[in-house]
Structure 1
Amino acid sequence: MNLLDTTIVQVAAPRMHAELGGPISAVPWLTSAYTLPFAVLLLTGARLGDRAGRRRMFRIGVAGFLLASLACACAPALGVLIAFRAVQGAAAALIVPQTIGLIKAMFRGDETARALGSIGPVMGLAAVCGPVLGGVLTHADLFGSSWRAVFLVNVPLSLAVLALAPFLAEDRAPRRPGLDPAGTALAVLATGLIVLPLLRSDGGVTDGSALASLGAGLAVAAAFAVQQRRGTRRGRGTLVETSLFTSARFPAALVSSALFFGVSTGLTLVVVLHLQVTSSADALTSGLTLLPCSAGMAAASWCAGAHLVRRYGSAVLAAGLAVMAAGVAATAGAFDAADHPALLPCALAVVGIGQGLFTPAFFTAALHPLRPQEIGSAAGLLNAVQQLGATLGVAVLGRVYLASAAGGGAQRACWASLAALAVVAAAGRLMHTAGRPVAAESEPAAEPLGTTHAR
């Protein structure tokens, strides 16, 4: 349900804008207002579960998500809808970090591996259903609900989860970790200062106020890094395990995650805007056009996770990037081929296959060399950066498209995506060549977390 809401709104967003009014440049906010608080509050959500109990925080998060979904469905204006989307994202940040801990609390031995393995198909189903369900519900206009149905669908899902929640085992960390409110505030402030100028509806990112905001955001991010290192030295609870940054390997993984998922999410928005704004297609057509991408991603992810990564290792990561780049280039060409509408779904299928090949190989490579005490922090950071990358991808690629929608904006967004994928390729290479300090390598490495890629 939480991950479904990352993509289900994208297909319905143009209809929301048409009915509620407001500038077209506000459309990317419908996604970013959800993913931004989702990203920056994930680590705090995990800490709250450790302290207050994972089942308790899970139930609070689901109840909050239910109420926020109802509020979104009843929103009378675009600004109000965007505000309640932010509340949805904050509630999702309470829910998602609890899932792995709850599964580990309820299962033992081989049962744990099977339970964790079941997450993959569920997340694949969310990836497949999001764009399609958004298109179908908006097009069906059930009881005159139009786009509001994409939020109302969360009501029965949330009620079902709350009814089942008493069967979950309560679980919390043996030691109550600190919440690090100062670190959380710095992380939120830095992220906001960096992202908000990219989502502004007026002007560009090169005017004085935007550059000042970006500079201030980088300065606050540096202050956050200093604060985390100082807290670690003094033995205080921190949001981040600072030993992850003793070599270039994990920072390279964070850069790869941000850019890769930024391209994946941002390109989806560009396709939807091109179809519904430029080509005047309806929401159902947009959802069906994206279906080959989602299906290709789900199938390739299962194949890579179950077979290819074990046999070929990091070569699957490089192959996935190459396939995805070929698909993005083909997508750029398909935008011009109005007389051949089948080309765009075929190109997007190639993009999805590349995504599916890359993702399990990437997360296995990112998590495998880590020490056991680093896994929780690393997984939380990768999830947070994934959501932050989605926010930035929507902001940047959406701006590229909207800046020249009538004159090749979709193609320019594709070329920008290819440039980002080239950086991902370079960062992926660094992940394999950068080593840890000798002292760290003497400790046993953690086993790969096989289900994290699905999250």
Structure 2
Amino acid sequence: MTHSAGAGPQAVTAAPYRLRWPALFVILAAEVMDLVDAVITNIAAPSIHADLGGSTSMIQWLGAAYTLAMAVGLLTGGRLGDLYGRRRMFVAGVAGFTAASLLCGLAASPELLIGSRALQGLFGAMMIPQGLGLIKEMFPPKEMAAAFGVFGPVMALSLVGGPVLAGWLVDADLFGTGWRMIFLINLPVGLLALAGAVRFLPESRSGHASRLDLTGVCLASAASFLLIYPLVQGRDLDWPAWTFASMAASVALFALFARHQAAKRRAGGDPLLVTGLFRKRAFTGGLVTGLVFFTALVGFSMVLSLYFQIGLGYDPLKAGLASLPNAVGSLIGFAAVNAAGLAQKVGRKLIHLGAAVMAAGLAGTALTLNLAGADVTPWQLTPALFVTGAGMSMVMAPFFDIVLAGVEPHESGSANGTLTAVQQLGGALGSAVIGTLFFGMLEDGRAFSETMQTTIWVTTGMVAAAFAAAFLLPLRARPQEGAGH
């Protein structure tokens, strides 16, 4: 996943922090835990479901609980560091994330596992913004690009290696732990990150920290939960009237949240969001584009892993390897775009081109399934999945810079946090909406191949909607104000 955070004024020292490179690797260790845990349950979900039981909605909650909690937590994650110190909050976030991973690994019921996943997301939202804020303070401007440049390969490696690692850990059944090892492996990584944070990270905080808007957090949390919960659980309960009432209440609460933020701003307070951002067509269009795009992206990744295991009978490791062309296509796409500088040269047209390429890859995947049927092999799916991944990377490469192009400097912190939170909310919606469609068709007696094809075509329609919404964006980012992610 992509994360961003605004940083306050420099508070460490005017000179570069001498332990900045060891500190960077501590921050990267925390990033890897978050990035891998965001996707690792896609491969392990069937094994978890077979062991713990529960309805198929539990599989959707494994991803949705994590991303929903992180979406809400990111609204205040950066401010916690401003108020209480970035190293202190980073240490607390890593410790909490590691402890929540242990709870996940020991969970004896679906409810305990889902609750522990939500705790992981909350502590991840506390951890990630501090690390990025510290980097901005530790490194001089001439080294900043090199420091953030390390994140690209790390993210790519996590994207490629996460599903394969999950599959291997489940199949290896180390010490008889089975799927639990995908969470327990965070313990040594987390403890090393904790030790490194205490040893290498400097303490810092903003010179003008703003107070937390707890009312705003509660309103945003309640509105998000009232939307996601009925989308996931409604299918199991045969869509009673309260599920639709809950979604309607969610809309009302989001409207109340917006009014509260505007009123707090007028009263001279510190709202979670700078409401003036929503009067900017580029920013609002970016939120719509991102929400639809990330819903499609996360939903497709989840059902593809489920199809490989439940539909085609692959073991977890083979399922992870079968999904590798999608990740490799993304990795190569990012590398090619960055090497040619296309994000800056082409701008918004690259988003449109990437959406078209991704839609073509998804269509190719559906057509391959239609032609090959239940006898489809990973090699037959490789070309279409590779194209899908390449298109995804072309959309993401310029996306954040372009969306933030018209944001003023004093709005950048709120804009970064809001955009990243919407990305996470899109992930939760992907698990809820696409997962509900997928499992609903199976429960209606549809064949796996037909179910997967229909789900892919719906996902393709979402990518087409993101293509249309992208016309609201400016043609390109202004270099001096872009914020790469």
What TM-score do you get using the length of structure 1 for normalisation?
Answer: 0.94
Equivalent positions of 1:66-105 (< 5 A) are 66-105=98-137
Q: Which residue of 1 aligns with 2:12?
A: none
For residue 269 of structure 1, give the secondary structure of its aligned residue in structure 2.
helix
Deviation, 1:178, is 1.4
CA contact (8 A) 2:61 2:114 kept: yes
Q: Which residue of 2 aligns with 1:13?
A: 45
Equivalent positions of 1:258-297 (< 5 A) are 258-297=291-330
| 1:432 matched to 2:474 | yes
Aligned partners of 1:217, 1:72: CA distance in 2, in Å?
29
Aligned partners of 1:46, 1:205: CA distance in 2, in Å?
40
Q: Which residue of 2 aligns with 1:119?
A: 151
| 1:225 matched to 2:258 | yes
CA contact (8 A) 1:198 1:205 kept: no
2:469 maps to amino acid: A
| 1:152-200 C-alpha deviation (Å, 9 max, x unpaired) | 1111111111111021121211112010001000000110111111110
2:436 maps to amino acid: R
Aligned partners of 1:17, 1:28: CA distance in 2, in Å?
11
Q: Which residue of 2 aligns with 1:335?
A: 369
CA contact (8 A) 2:405 2:476 kept: no
For residue 375 of structure 2, give the secondary structure of its aligned residue in structure 1.
coil
Aligned partners of 2:70, 2:54: CA distance in 1, in Å?
24
| 1:396 matched to 2:425 | no
Q: CA 1:123–1:67 in 2, change beyond 3 Å: closer, same or farther?
A: same
Aligned partners of 1:64, 1:93: CA distance in 2, in Å?
11
Q: Which residue of 1 aligns with 2:396?
A: 359
Of the three residues 27, 36, 59, the one matched with 1:27 is: 59
341-350 or 103-112, larger mean C-alpha shift: 341-350
Deviation, 1:434, is 12
Aligned partners of 2:80, 2:159: CA distance in 1, in Å?
28
Q: Which residue of 1 aligns with 2:210?
A: 177
CA contact (8 A) 1:403 1:409 kept: no
Deviation, 1:148, is 0.7
2:465 maps to amino acid: V
CA contact (8 A) 1:101 1:171 kept: no
Give unmatched runs, 5+ long, in structure 1: 436-443
Deviation, 1:136, is 1.1
Aligned partners of 1:334, 1:403: CA distance in 2, in Å?
23
Aligned partners of 1:446, 1:373: CA distance in 2, in Å?
14
Equivalent positions of 1:51-450 (< 5 A) are 51-166=83-198, 167-200=200-233, 202-203=235-236, 207-306=240-339, 307-336=341-370, 337=372, 338-341=374-377, 342-405=379-442, 406-407=446-447, 408-432=450-474, 447-450=481-484
Q: CA 1:248–1:433 in 2, change beyond 3 Å: closer, same or farther?
A: farther
424-433 or 42-51, larger mean C-alpha shift: 424-433
For residue 146 of structure 2, give the secondary structure of its aligned residue in structure 1.
helix
CA contact (8 A) 2:344 2:398 kept: no
Deviation, 1:288, is 0.4
CA contact (8 A) 1:58 1:94 kept: yes
Give unmatched runs, 5+ long, in structure 2: 1-32
Deviation, 1:202, is 4.1
Aligned partners of 1:87, 1:156: CA distance in 2, in Å?
19
1:199 maps to amino acid: V
Q: Which residue of 2 aligns with 1:43?
A: 75
241-250 or 174-183, larger mean C-alpha shift: 241-250
2:166 maps to amino acid: G
Deviation, 1:218, is 0.3
Aligned partners of 1:287, 1:86: CA distance in 2, in Å?
24
Displacement over 3 Å in runs of 4+: 201-207
CA contact (8 A) 2:173 2:179 kept: yes
Aligned partners of 2:160, 2:37: CA distance in 1, in Å?
12
1:339 maps to amino acid: D
For residue 93 of structure 2, give the secondary structure of its aligned residue in structure 1.
helix
CA contact (8 A) 1:42 1:94 kept: yes
RMSD of aligned residue pairs (Cα, Å): 1.8
Deviation, 1:276, is 1.2
CA contact (8 A) 2:65 2:115 kept: yes
Deviation, 1:353, is 0.4
Deviation, 1:204, is 7.0
Deviation, 1:446, is 5.0
Aligned partners of 1:340, 1:77: CA distance in 2, in Å?
35
1:246 maps to amino acid: R
CA contact (8 A) 2:65 2:118 kept: yes
| 1:321-367 C-alpha deviation (Å, 9 max, x unpaired) | 01100011112123332334122232211111011111011112111
| 1:391-410 C-alpha deviation (Å, 9 max, x unpaired) | 10111111111112343221
Aligned partners of 1:7, 1:154: CA distance in 2, in Å?
14
CA contact (8 A) 2:309 2:316 kept: yes
Deviation, 1:219, is 0.3
For residue 96 of structure 1, give the secondary structure of its aligned residue in structure 2.
helix
Aligned partners of 2:381, 2:234: CA distance in 1, in Å?
29
Q: Which residue of 2 aligns with 1:441?
A: none
